[in-house]
Amino acid sequence: MMKKVTKAIFPVAGLGTRFLPATKSIPKEIMTLVDRPLIQYAIDEARAAGIKEFIFVTARGKSALEDYFDIAPELENTLRKKGKTELLQNLKSTNMDSGQIAYIRQNKALGLGHAVWCARRLLGNEPFAVILPDDVIAAEKPCLQQMIEAHAETGGNMVAAMEVPPEMASSYGVLDVREDMGSVVSVKGMVEKPAVNEAPSNLAVIGRYILTPDIMRNLNRAKSGAGGEIQLTDAIAEEIATSDNVYGFRFRGQRYDCGSKAGFLHATVAFGLAREDLRGEFSQFLDQMTATKNAAQ
Ligand code: G1P
């Protein structure tokens, strides 16, 4: 019997330089998509997929994240007194029970592989998930849930994957496909940020992973790779030669790259329009904007 995936690592140590000056004093993961911080979307997705333990790999300047997941007694009391039940429920759903969440510091920015490795002592001999909160995925069935279901069939290591325009492949981890079985592909190679024209395909890794404990063993002796950083992609690719158990999973859903300004704006529009309480007014505004722009041309 395969062990259940109940632990997830959230690498949140990045400096968020692309969003300066906003990120000078707030962590990128606290930036707001409509009315919830980016990190909340990742947590909700993990919870929906049955994750019980949440491991944050943080860094200096990220303490706002810890406060965010704590209880907020003053706010809760005020809302209770005012009878704002819905808002209170909304607020309380962000609380994490003691012991459910752990924070580990990555004290040097040595790469995604290194960030994941920092959590090694909190994982047992069982598969675990990694979620990159920058990748926000809108889906009927949450992406990680889809992956856990597919992983129950394949076992091994699984990465979320998506076709990207070929000229964009060098911004991603890229899969070399051995066998394409539709949503699941078996992988014969993986390259982190290949040089332009050297990508083995345009099937890119998106920030959701289900990994075996062997990945930590590989990370124990990892050397720096692309960009001089310790790459998670390389530690996973090592498993292809030794265990031949690496799979890509084409998820059903829309991914937004909230690590980039344009992607964040796309997500803001999409999530704003998806909200019943905002849709009417917001779509009217967008229509007006488009009409004004068209008239000006
Ligand atoms: C990371 C991974 C890369 C993956 C990407 C998905 O890169 O290293 O393999 O394709 O996330 O968002 P980053 O975007 O942190 O440079």
Read off φ and ψ for residue 191, nearest 5 degrees. -125, 135
What is the whole-number distance in angstroms between the Cα of residue 63 and the centre of ligand 1? 24
**Superfamily for domain range 7-259:** Spore Coat Polysaccharide Biosynthesis Protein SpsA; Chain A (3.90.550.10)
What is the whole-number distance in angstroms between the Cα of residue 172 and the centre of ligand 1? 5
Spatial separation of the C-alpha atoms in residues 116 and 131, rounded to whole Å:
10
Q: Is 236 in the pocket of ligand 1 (CB under 6 A)?
A: no
Q: Is 42 in the pocket of ligand 1 (CB under 6 A)?
A: no
Indicate the domain borders of the chain: 7-259
Element containing residue 79 per DSSP (H, E): helix 73-81
Q: What's the length of the chain?
A: 297
- Going residue by residue through the chain (297 aa), what tens digit of pLDDT does each one get? 678 999 999 999 988 889 999 999 899 999 999 999 999 999 999 999 999 999 999 999 888 999 899 888 999 999 999 999 999 998 888 888 888 999 999 999 999 999 999 999 999 899 999 999 999 999 999 999 999 999 999 999 999 999 999 999 999 999 999 999 999 999 999 999 999 889 999 999 999 999 999 999 999 988 888 889 999 999 999 999 999 999 999 999 999 999 999 999 999 999 999 999 999 999 999 999 988 888 877
Read off φ and ψ for residue 104, nearest 5 degrees. -125, 140
